[in-house]
Structure 1
Amino acid sequence: MKPGYRTQGLVALTLTLGAFMGLCAGCGCWGKKEEPVQVAVLIESIPEPGASVLMAGHDQGYTPVTIYGLQPGSYEVIMNLDKYRRKIETITVTEAVEQKFTIEMEPIVGDVSISSTPEAEVFLDGELIGKTPILKKVLQVGSYSYEIKHPDYYPVKKDFLMEENFKLEFEHELRPMESQLTVTSRPSSANIWLNNIAQAQRTPASIVLRPGRYLVSVHSDGFVQADSMVVLEANAPQTVHLEMSAGKVPQGMVLIPAGPFTMGTNEQAPDERPAREVYVPAFYIDRFEVTNQAYKKVVSSHTFPKGQDNFPALGISWTEALRYCEAIGKRLPTEAEWEKAARGSDKRIYPWGDIFSPQMSNTKETELGMPTRVGYFYATPSIHGCIDMAGNAYEWVMDWYDAYPGNHDVTKDYGQIFRILRGGSYLTEKFEARTSARHFDRMDSGRRDYGFRCAMDARE
């Protein structure tokens, strides 16, 4: 081999390798590491935005938020939003350059029930949600306001705070809108009573009243009182016209004409015997039991439950009843007068007739357990127009208790110890409410169901 041949080949090889090395160095490919993929992740929350996001150990802001520089892999996302439960969810980030994750938050809730009498529309935060009753409506925690509306009743508004797992219940008795009652009469300029309470106006008059039952009465001197029962509906005006006949019956009383009637009975309790004809001169008797309001005007120390002005005065002894009657120029009725006013001349068992019904009077069978306002049972008067002569309140009469003349069944002489009460009460059964039934007690006894009504001699 010629000298230098091999050397030339070796140099050529070395140059080639050097050139290659230089080329690699120039392009930067020699020893370069592979760069990881970078992605952008959008995280949203439903049903509301604004949840805080904790991810990869850092606070990332509030949804909707885009997080840059994440490498593919699994990440734990922790999200918090007011009124929602804390949410922890694992997401898997891929090599896609842009990715979106929508995470549903679970609201913290309770429920509310809303009822009313009568049925009415309910608006929650101004939006109609239905009619009462609204039952177990699920609401997210927070502050709310509802309004109950009915065209004939005043609206009710209420604010409330719902908290986690609360079960709220609201009940409302809606207050009806007033109605206008117009009262006219012949003759006009008559005094007006509503449920036995005197009014300031005279006929013709328009009076604004709450819905309910009203016994409307008018009276003028020289005329007999006229009455009518009116049922007022909410926001519904009515007119009632009453005609008075000539007569001199005192206001609030009825005239019981003179004449005989059958007193007592042979078929019931021994002390009601014998049935016999009794003549009773003409007299006046109150249509209603004496009320709390009337009694308190004379006896200022008298007390009674709020709202019971027009209920019978109860807890009254015979002595107190007599004192009241005398103070207003009247008296207690005799036992015979009371029975004639209740029974009439046809021997009826109850003031309205011979058939008993719990809807006709306030006795134990009616199951009210308390007295009613006077005149409530206006539809079942006695034949002479007296109201509540069966039930509601026992009524004192003038007489001492003893056996009737001709009674051979009761042999005991009671003497002048007990006074008589008639008519039964809300605490007694129908047997005591019969027109012939007798009850007695000491004259100083003021049992809680003892009341009375007054009488007067008829004017000549």
Structure 2
Amino acid sequence: MSRQSMGRVGGKRRTGAALQWTFIGGVLGLGCSAIFVLSLLILGVLELGSDTDGTTAEIAGFATDIPLPTADVQGTVDALMANNVSASDVQLTVDAAVATAIEATQQAQPTQAVVVAPPTATPLAPIQFTATPVSDSSQPQPVTTQATEQVLAPSGTQGGTAPSVDERLALLATTLVVVDGGTFTMGTNTNEIRVAVDECQQRDNAQCQISYGQDSVPEHQVTLDTFQLEQFEVTNEQYVAFLNSRGPGSHRNGCSGQKCVDTASENENSLITFDSVNYDVSEFAANLPVVGVTWWGAQAYCQALGRRLPTEAEWERAARGPNNTIYPWGNEWVMTYARTNRPDPTQNIGPLEVGSFPSGAVSWANGSIYDMSGNVAEWVQDWYDAGYYSRPEASGLNPQGPATGVDRVVRGGSWDAVPFFARAVHRQHFRPTDTYLWLGFRCAADYVPETATQPLTTTDTTGGAVDPASLGPVPPTSEPEVQPTQPVDARPGLPTAAPSATPAANPTPIPAVPPGG
């Protein structure tokens, strides 16, 4: 169609020309609308969906109704046609209007926040405990409340998978020996103490005094149920496995919120190392008894195995044997049957491997218990009271010791003390947070007949397989103790006149190679 057929600008239009422009405007309007809709579909602004009433178009990604800018395309076309603008110019203008509308629509669409779900990790079953930091103090104060500790039993190996740390701890657990129950005479008398003091002064050239043994009198009758006691003192290897099961840093406050043990970071003479991730001990020291362990650390280890610390009465019953003797082997001291600081205190430095004195072991029906005299002294369960033996509750069935106290009882003597302290009747006492290089422990367990037991499978610390039947039951964790809010210090005061006869607070460092090794 030529320019001339449109007529003069501003002149009178013919009826045919008006119809033609109306048709052209309608076609262009429909085309622009189609382009606009297709653009929105391509950009994802519109989505075609279907429901029961028919097909509908929905604006994607909008949670609320947001007014979208629209382009008056038809109005723009009519205005251009009224001014006799060419069709090509009209198309360019329409395209620009559509582009402007699309851009405005994209700006009006809210940004969709990308939500990334956190990775789901398979949780391990941790051993739970209360970890309350303990302040360092040269004079530790008695703890007024005891944290509740929950110990998870080791799980069995499934599908041939590698054993967990807890399973390793169980595999290393020491064999339990059954100690017959019954009634026995606990404690000693003044005559026996006097003989022991004379031997200490004359034979061992030490300044022992009768007052050292007065808290072990009078003799009294005690009846115990049959129980079980570990054959050996707990070793470094076993305790390192326990620490690794608790996790990095657990030695500081991982035992009922208290310190468990000294590592080389706290005591340069400790044989346990910690590299901020793992605990370790050298191969030569693996089978030495663990030392530098607190009462809390001893209790927590035993509970981790489903065991417990022995009561003072149980410990003495086991050490004195079926014949109720003063030493595990009899009533006469034999220097080569136990590790003490005699005959030469300058040579007998440090403990020996557990089980190094088979001749000094105490024998029971189903096995022997080693090192109940000397090597390292051992924590027991009871609070200490110097006058406890004179009280009615000290006699009778299964005595548990005083209900409250400041110190815990220690038994057995050590490599750092004279034989006087290695008598099975002798009592010592220290704060539960104290640590010494001559102080360790062993665990006990209740006895249940074999028909009702499901014992742990363990490996003897000296090598070789262990009969599972000798391990006994795994009792439930004992109820937490209620500690005194105002404990009375029953500590009579340690003697100072005979330093060679009493354990030193800072003994000579343990050599790099165990004595006698």
Query: Normalising TM by the smaller chain, what interval?
Result: 0.3 to 0.5
Quick one: higher RCO (CA 8 Å, sep 6+), 1 or 2? 2
TM-score (norm 2): 0.39
Tell me the TM-score normalized by structure 1: 0.43
Higher CA-based Rg: 1
